[in-house]
C-alpha cells in the first residue's frame, strides 16, 4: 500500500497526585495498548487549543497545557498509516473532584497509574515513562499569523 502523508496529533501527559492518566480507545476492548489522551490536529488552531479540545472530547476534563516533553512517530508498514505525535505536560484546571467521561464515544477505558504501574502496562510510546517523570522539556513557540 502506498504510504500516506503523516497525520499530526497531540497528547496530554496529565499528572495528578503523581499518577498519570492513560486511556484505551480500541473498540470492543480488543487491545491492551494504552496511551495518553489526545488526537488529531485541526488546521487554524494552535497545538494547545487542539489538545484542550481532544482531551475534553475523550475524557470530559479541562486542562492547562504546559511544555512539550516528547515527540514520537509511528507507522503501519502494511497499511501506510503514519502519525507524528507531540506530547505536552498538562494539569487539571482547578478541579477537586475528577469525573472522567467519554462525550465523543472514543475511549473505552481510563486509568490513573503510577510510574511503576505504567511500566507494567503495554503502552506507547516506549519513551513515555522517562518523558513524563523526567526533567526534559522543549520550547514551544505558539501559533502566530504570517504577516507578509
- Per the CB < 8 A criterion, the answer to whether 136 and 129 are in contact is no
Find the mean pLDDT for residues 95-108.
75
How far apart, in whole angstroms, are the C-alpha atoms of residue 15 and residue 131? 12
CATH fold of the domain at 7-133: Nucleoside Triphosphate Pyrophosphohydrolase (3.90.79)
State the pLDDT confidence band at 100, using cuts at 50, 70 and 90.
Answer: confident
Q: What is the pLDDT of residues 39-55, one digit of tens each?
A: 999 999 999 999 999 99
The x, y and z cell numbers of residue 145, run together, are 499569523
Residues 13, 19 contacting (CB under 8 angstroms): no
All cell numbers assigned to 106: 472514543
Q: What is the pTM of this model?
A: 0.88
Amino acid at each position: 500500500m502506498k504510504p500516506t502523508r503523516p497525520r499530526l496529533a497531540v497528547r496530554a501527559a496529565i499528572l495528578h497526585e503523581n499518577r498519570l492518566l492513560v486511556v484505551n480507545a480500541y473498540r470492543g476492548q480488543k487491545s491492551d495498548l494504552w496511551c495518553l489522551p489526545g488526537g488529531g490536529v485541526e488546521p487554524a488552531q494552535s497545538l494547545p487549543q487542539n489538545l484542550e479540545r481532544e482531551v475534553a472530547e475523550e475524557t470530559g476534563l479541562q486542562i492547562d497545557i504546559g511544555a512539550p516533553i516528547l515527540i514520537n512517530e509511528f507507522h503501519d508498514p502494511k497499511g501506510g498509516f503514519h502519525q507524528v505525535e507531540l506530547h505536552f505536560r498538562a494539569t487539571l484546571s482547578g478541579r477537586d473532584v475528577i469525573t472522567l467521561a467519554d462525550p465523543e464515544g472514543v475511549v473505552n477505558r481510563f486509568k490513573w497509574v503510577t510510574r511503576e504501574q505504567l511500566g507494567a502496562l503495554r503502552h506507547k510510546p516506549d519513551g513515555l515513562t522517562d518523558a513524563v517523570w523526567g526533567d526534559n522539556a522543549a520550547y514551544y513557540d505558539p501559533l502566530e499569523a504570517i504577516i507578509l
